[in-house]
Amino acid sequence: MKKILLILASILLVWFGVKKLIYSLASAETQIRWRLEEMVEGFNETRKRSVMAGFDRTYADARGYTRDEIGRYLSHLFLGYIDSETKKFTLSVSMPEDDLLIEIHETEPPTATVQARFLIMEGTEEYWDLSLTGDLEDDEDGWQFVRTRDVNHADRARR
């Protein structure tokens, strides 16, 4: 039994080590893309922590909203959009690959321009259309938005 536990622990350590190595060898652009994909997946699975991991503790957007306010709004969405019969979350978000622009600058922080569509799952009814450009920094928690400069919900055509 102890050998089995030791083997399982070893496999887990190797797996985490390989994952960390792959992450560290990836380009900054790829790491940022992975972070954004984790945030989208977290939203769709109502994992607030996964979404909030993309925002630095000092985050503020162009309108003055803070990380804490975004967290409260996420909680409101996650609790307010539950189907009363199925108990499933009724919103989903997508981030079209063609609408994602990640720029790595030599003298300034990297920026990401993200287009996202939030849909009500019962059909194709659009709930919210988001376009933002933000500055990111890499620290011990990975790539995170530290500020967003351009946030506009009206620029993109409704589908």
Contact present, 83 and 90 (Cβ < 8 Å): yes
In CATH, the number for domain 28-152 is 3.10.450.50
Q: Give the whole-angstrom CA distance, residue 36 versus residue 24.
A: 17
What's residue 109's pLDDT?
87
Torsion of CA 44, 45, 48, 52, to 10 degrees: -50
What's residue 149's pLDDT?
83
What confidence tier does 128 reach under pLDDT thresholds 50, 70, 90? confident
Per residue in 43-55, pLDDT (tens digit) is: 999 999 999 999 9
DSSP letters spanning 6-22:
HHHHHHHHHHHHHHHHH
Per residue in 80-108, pLDDT (tens digit) is: 988 888 888 999 998 888 888 899 988 88
Tell how strand 111-120 and strand 126-139 pair up: antiparallel
- Domain extent listing, the chain: 28-152
